Amino acid sequence: MASSGRRALVTGGGSGIGLAIAKALRSAGHEVFIAGRDETKLKTAGLPYFIIDVTDDASIAAATAEIGALDIFVANAGAAPTAATLKTSRAMWDQTLAVNLTSVFSCAQAFAPLMIDRGWGRFIAVASTASHRAYPYTGAYAAAKHGVLGWIKTLALEHAKTGVTFNAVCPGFTDTPLLTGAVDRLAAKSGGDIDAAKRALAKDNPMGRLVAPEEVAAAVLYLASEAAASINGQSIIIDGGELIA
């Protein structure tokens, strides 16, 4: 099979990292669909889309039946609420795991068989540096993202001979709409200075800046390529050197 012209689906594809990934895959010649819950946002993105709630198995199943053949799946949908660990509500815990971890479980069970049937596929999860380290006030999110890596590694081992690979990318703080809430909260504490708030979030990055969505997309594009056929069960960290600093 040629490396271009494959069918790809990106969840959380209406903005931020997901949209950057979708555009990169389309530029490489793939047929790309995006998915999410906000139809207005999906329409604005200008790509073919499915309405999918990744926390709803029935919604995932409906999309699986509709899309039919699939070669590349990017599990990008996520949310990052914050709370002190011992003040994290059960509702926040359950929802954070549902969006960030259980969704990857459900999507793998639904979409990976479509790739296995074709004898070629790339299942890529957008995880986080929070898959490898802790940040204050992100206990539920860190637990979920750590879980994503365990799930991806196990999928990779069990399906290593199918032609389908399972990997994750782990960005540090990335300049996306998802980060806007954190920036706004920090800015409110520092006199409304948005630039200062962004610098505070970027301080752990030795490069002194936020990661660009396009940098994450480039890593996903490589993992989705023929050249990455032997990369399986891996976590590609995109953080400017934060985790080794």
Q: What does pTM read for this prediction?
A: 0.93
Higher pLDDT, 154 or 135: 154
pLDDT > 70? residue 245: yes
Indicate which residue of 49, 135, 137, 141 is catalytic.
Answer: 141
Question: Could you confirm whether 141 is annotated as catalytic?
Answer: yes
Say whether pLDDT at 12 is over 80: yes
Tokens 């950057």 correspond to 20
- For residues 110 and 35, is the Cβ–Cβ distance under 8 A? no
Mean pLDDT, rounded, of the chain: 93
Find out whether 110 and 61 touch, Cβ atoms under 8 Å. Answer: yes
- The answer to whether 169 and 76 are in contact (CB under 8 A) is no
Rounded to whole angstroms, the maximal C-alpha distance in the chain is 56
What is the DSSP code string of 188-200?
HHTTS-HHHHHHH
What is the share, in percent, of the chain residues with pLDDT greater than 90? Answer: 84
Is residue 78's pLDDT more than 70? yes
**Angle separating helix axes 177-189 and 16-27, nearest 10 degrees:** 150
Angle ∠(77,78,82) on CA atoms, nearest 5: 170
- Pairing relation of β-strands 31-36 and 49-51? parallel
Q: What is the pLDDT of residues 165-193, one digit of tens each?
A: 999 999 999 988 777 666 666 556 656 66
Beta bridge pairs of residue 122: 72, 165
pLDDT band at residue 4 under the 50/70/90 scheme = low
Judged against a pLDDT cut of 60, whether residue 1 lies above it is answered with: no
DSSP state of 130: G
> What percent of the chain is modeled with pLDDT above 70?
92
Q: Which domains does the chain have, with CATH numbers?
A: 7-172+212-230 (3.40.50.720), 174-210 (no CATH)
List strand residue ranges (DSSP E) for the chain, in order.
7-11, 31-36, 49-51, 72-75, 121-126, 164-171, 235-238
Query: How far apart are alpha carbons 81 and 241 in whole angstroms?
Result: 25
Contact 166, 155 (CB under 8 A): yes
Helix/strand/coil for 125 = strand
Q: Average pLDDT, stretch 94-102?
A: 98
Tokens 């990052």: give the residue: 80
What is the 8-class DSSP label of residue 229? T
Sign of the four-CA dihedral 109, 115, 119, 120: negative
What pLDDT is attached to residue 201?
Answer: 79
